[in-house]
A and B are shown apart, each in its own frame.
Chain A
Amino acid sequence: MSRKKLTRRQFVAATAMSSAALIAAPYVRSANAAGKLSIGFWDHWVPGANKASTDLVNEWAAKEKVEVSIDYIPSQGNKNLLTIAAEAQAKSGHDIFAMPTWWAHSNADQLENVADIMGPIIAENGEVNGTVKYLGMSENKWLGVPACVGSQIKGPCSRIDLMKKHAGIDVQAMYPAGSEPKADDWTLETFLKAAEACHKAGVPFGIGLGETTDNVDTAGAIFLSFGAQLVDAKGNLTVKTDAVRQALDFYKKLIGFLPPDVAAWDDASNNKWLVSGRGAMIMNPPSAWAVAKRDAPQVAEQCWTHGFPKGPKGRFAPYLPYFWSIWNFSKNKEAAKSLLVALSKPAAIEKMVNASGGYDLPAYEKLTTLKVWQEEGPPKGTLFHYPNPYKHQTLSIAASPAPPKIAQQIYAQATLTKMCLRYHQGEAMEKTLAWAEGECEGFMRS
């Protein structure tokens, strides 16, 4: 048996030829030629809403030949926040992650700038509101693409019958479906009178003063309506101002007309309050109404979502956006950007909004008049004013315009609701302000 021996020269020649053949060979695109992409989306609480996102992503993946995997991560128990913290520490994880409100800013150093795709997206969909810029931009860097999924306005959801009967306010006439609001008289003063009337009638407004987001968001909008800021945009302490004093005085009166247990309310309490038929108004996105539609249809057909009352410094409503951000450790940034562009197309956004029953809000001004908000019911048109179609109110977030890293602390520690409670429980105004000032000083540490 003879055995041919491979010389060193022959080996080098064969290797070189194989390499040349591989380089010169025609590019054959396989099923997943453009690599892999993993996505951490927020797990929607509207049944079936995740499917719309999955379908859109799969459609894009099939076209672009990218292998995608999606994890839907719930916000219950802050699981999404824990995942963000873990991925930021490990510098590994998903390529795209749905960042709620403050988390794009708090991870700014580890996020890819998406300014290059935001320009064309804004050109197509219209300008974004100020809160999106405040939370989504750091200097000139875009920290994520505003996601319609999960973004919401926490405006008033009133009982048509109870407000008419006890407060003499026709919320449907004030915010008519299909046309501009006629809400010039809808001021904080009117709101307080209505709160008092409903309290007397045994159906008080359900506005919480606990430490969770729904409670903080309402307080934030009311404080801003008075021009009350604890820390200004430049990072200066502005706690001891007349605007803050006025806001506290207003809240002290309001708390007297709220249910006695509001200090212990969490984000589910106001929903339960509305669905059980015990209150005339709550501040919430239409999720409470959607639950009522299923569990208490007689309550749902009396619900009307509308704008916030106007204060001395304007009409503010809490807006909480999500951002789809790309981690800078992502290995497929180009594919990630391509997907985010595809998800930001008007047709894709409309599909996701429809799947959420109108809960999700696009951040772009050209997309606030989709059909779903005109048609959802009962009663028909109940969500017409939910997306702020006439820019009737300024969309804001509690603790703004403080620099986001300070504002996040004010928000997370619920400093605003704590101030209201302390003052309501009998603490002297100046003592409450001094306490809040001390807290804010602490939040400024770098």
Chain B
Amino acid sequence: MADVALQPDSVGAAQPVRKRSGLKKALKRKSTAAFLMTLPLIILIALLVLYPAFYSLHLATLNKSMQRFVGLGNFEFLFKRDTFWLVVKQSCIFAITAVLFKALIGFIVAHFVHNIPAKGQRKWRGMLLVPWVIPPAMSTLAWLWLFDPSYSAFNYTLSFFGIGPIPWTGDADWARFSVILVNVWYGAPFFMIMYLASLKSVPEQLYEAAAIDGANWWQRIWYVTLPMMRNIIAITTLFSLIVTFANFDIVRILTAGGPLDHTHIFATWAFRIGIEGSDIPLGASVSLFMVPILAVAAIFILRDVNKRGNEA
């Protein structure tokens, strides 16, 4: 420290050289190269994701005619509306139920597929992924015809057994069931494939050791499989929760939020208010309502994943 204090000139003279060499070193560094190579994508994301996100934040702070800043006035207004709380409730029912069933079905089917001999497994994997590969707007249209109020193929089939007709989209409870069912049908293959990949990475020795210790089927799942899959389960659940909360197409096509608003979720209600009702600021506020809640959930889940990653 004394040296530096006694020789200020020499330090100053050495600085440009160090800067140049620093820049060279930085350019040579792998992380800099990686950053530069991902820069186009970062710019693209900034343009297509960040800009609209901030713009919708800005919109949510305007009055209906978009001429006056109202701060959090739109949220204040929403909190007093019964329909808004109905939408919050339904979004939670929709997302949580659908994710639970997707995870459960995905887990079970992944086990089945995992146990199929390697030769035929590929075929099954491909077939089971079909619902996830078809664009949901298209597959939901097919479901709409199956649920059609007057010409439902399901009701036609059930009529042979003396059952029905069931108001698949005409009754609040059945309509909720229908939209959740389609979402589970569409999303379960994603869970299945993620869990299958995770299952395949569980070392066989662990199961052998468990078998030697006399572990039964359930104990093997509980003490070996599940702990080994924890991170994948957490990340898939988080990802699916976000996507399911933001779902639009399935509900929009199947019920358009009806009957009596009983299947509206955030995105469909935001569309109804913002685009069909020409109240864009209020629509933006509805669609932004979940952001802080999901962000907090994401922080907790990802923090947990990091922790477990470090433990490993």
* A, B: real partners: yes
A residues near B (Cβ < 8 Å) are 78, 81-82, 85, 89, 102-103, 106-107, 109, 210-212, 259-266, 269, 272-273, 276, 278, 405, 408-409, 412-414, 418, 421-422, 435, 438-439, 442, 445-446
* Chain B residues near A261 (CB-CB < 8 A): 149-150, 165, 167, 170
The answer to whether B170 touches A263, judged by C-beta atoms less than 8 angstroms apart, is yes
* Chain B residues near A408 (CB-CB < 8 A): 277-278
* Chain A residues near B77 (CB-CB < 8 A): 442, 445
The answer to whether B150 touches A273, judged by C-beta atoms less than 8 angstroms apart, is yes
The answer to whether B277 touches A269, judged by C-beta atoms less than 8 angstroms apart, is no
- Smallest Cβ distance from B263 to chain A, in angstroms? 10
Which of A82, A265, A413, A422 makes the CB contact (< 8 A) with B277? A413
* Chain A residues near B64 (CB-CB < 8 A): 405, 445-446
The answer to whether A278 touches B150, judged by C-beta atoms less than 8 angstroms apart, is yes
The answer to whether B257 touches A81, judged by C-beta atoms less than 8 angstroms apart, is no
B259 at the interface (CB under 8 A from A): yes
- Smallest Cβ distance from B264 to chain A, in angstroms? 10
Question: Which residue of A is nearest B65, CB measured?
Answer: A446
The answer to whether B150 touches A272, judged by C-beta atoms less than 8 angstroms apart, is yes
How many angstroms between the C-alpha atoms of A263 and B167 in the bound complex? Answer: 9
The answer to whether B149 touches A265, judged by C-beta atoms less than 8 angstroms apart, is yes
Which of B63, B83, B272 makes the CB contact (< 8 A) with A439? B83
The answer to whether B280 touches A85, judged by C-beta atoms less than 8 angstroms apart, is yes
Number of B residues with CB within 8 Å of any CB on chain A: 35
CB-contacts of B250-266 with A (<8 A): 255-261
How many angstroms between the C-alpha atoms of A218 and B165 in the bound complex? Answer: 26
* With A78-B271, A211-B256 already in contact, 11 other A-B pairs whose C-beta atoms are closer than 8 Å: A78-B275, A210-B258, A259-B149, A261-B167, A263-B258, A263-B259, A264-B255, A265-B149, A269-B149, A405-B64, A408-B278
- Smallest Cβ distance from B191 to chain A, in angstroms? 29
Decide yes or no: A211 and B257 within 8 Å by CB, A81-B276, A269-B149, A445-B64 being known contacts. Answer: yes
Which of A259, A412, A418, A438 makes the CB contact (< 8 A) with B272? A412
- Smallest Cβ distance from A4 to chain B, in angstroms? 49
* Chain A residues near B259 (CB-CB < 8 A): 210, 263-264, 421
How many angstroms between the C-alpha atoms of A446 and B130 in the bound complex? Answer: 47
Decide yes or no: A106 and B82 within 8 Å by CB, A264-B149, A442-B77 being known contacts. Answer: no
How many angstroms between the C-alpha atoms of A243 and B277 in the bound complex? Answer: 26
Q: How many A-B residue pairs lie within 8 Å, measured between CB atoms? A: 90
The answer to whether B277 touches A264, judged by C-beta atoms less than 8 angstroms apart, is no
Q: Dominant SS at the A interface? A: helix
Decide yes or no: A106 and B278 within 8 Å by CB, A212-B256, A273-B150, A421-B259 being known contacts. Answer: yes
Decide yes or no: A418 and B278 within 8 Å by CB, A278-B150, A446-B64 being known contacts. Answer: no
Decide yes or no: A422 and B258 within 8 Å by CB, A264-B170, A269-B150, A272-B150 being known contacts. Answer: no
Contact with A along B264-285 (1 / 0, CB 8 A): 0000000111111111101000
Decide yes or no: A264 and B167 within 8 Å by CB, A82-B275, A272-B150, A418-B260 being known contacts. Answer: yes
Identify the interface centre among B82, B151, B170, B255: most chain A CB within 10 Å of its CB. Answer: B170
How many angstroms between the C-alpha atoms of A259 and B155 in the bound complex? Answer: 15
Write 22 A-B pairs (CB below 8 A) sorted by A numbering. A103-B278, A210-B258, A211-B256, A211-B258, A261-B150, A261-B170, A263-B259, A264-B167, A266-B256, A269-B150, A272-B150, A272-B151, A273-B150, A276-B150, A405-B64, A408-B277, A408-B278, A413-B272, A421-B260, A422-B260, A442-B77, A445-B64
How many angstroms between the C-alpha atoms of A350 and B297 in the bound complex? Answer: 61
How many angstroms between the C-alpha atoms of A269 and B63 in the bound complex? Answer: 37
How many angstroms between the C-alpha atoms of A409 and B283 in the bound complex? Answer: 12
The answer to whether A264 touches B258, judged by C-beta atoms less than 8 angstroms apart, is yes
- Smallest Cβ distance from A428 to chain B, in angstroms? 16
Question: Which residue of B is nearest A107, CB measured?
Answer: B278
- Smallest Cβ distance from B23 to chain A, in angstroms? 41
Question: Which residue of A is nearest B271, CB measured?
Answer: A78
B175 at the interface (CB under 8 A from A): yes
Which of A109, A266, A269 makes the CB contact (< 8 A) with B65? A109
Question: Which residue of B is nearest A439, CB measured?
Answer: B83
- Smallest Cβ distance from A402 to chain B, in angstroms? 14
How many angstroms between the C-alpha atoms of A81 and B170 in the bound complex? Answer: 26
* Chain B residues near A82 (CB-CB < 8 A): 275
CB-contacts of B62-119 with A (<8 A): 63-65, 77, 81-83
* Chain A residues near B240 (CB-CB < 8 A): none
How many angstroms between the C-alpha atoms of A128 and B273 in the bound complex? Answer: 30
How many angstroms between the C-alpha atoms of A399 and B282 in the bound complex? Answer: 21
The answer to whether A409 touches B277, judged by C-beta atoms less than 8 angstroms apart, is yes
* Chain B residues near A103 (CB-CB < 8 A): 278
* Chain B residues near A259 (CB-CB < 8 A): 149-150
How many angstroms between the C-alpha atoms of A283 and B60 in the bound complex? Answer: 38
* Chain B residues near A278 (CB-CB < 8 A): 150
The answer to whether B275 touches A409, judged by C-beta atoms less than 8 angstroms apart, is no
CB-contacts of B160-176 with A (<8 A): 165, 167-171, 175
- Smallest Cβ distance from B305 to chain A, in angstroms? 37
How many angstroms between the C-alpha atoms of A210 and B165 in the bound complex? Answer: 19
* Chain B residues near A107 (CB-CB < 8 A): 278
Question: Which residue of B is nearest A81, CB measured?
Answer: B275
How many angstroms between the C-alpha atoms of A259 and B151 in the bound complex? Answer: 12
How many angstroms between the C-alpha atoms of A414 and B260 in the bound complex? Answer: 9
The answer to whether B175 touches A264, judged by C-beta atoms less than 8 angstroms apart, is yes
- Smallest Cβ distance from B175 to chain A, in angstroms? 7
Question: Which residue of A is nearest B151, CB measured?
Answer: A272
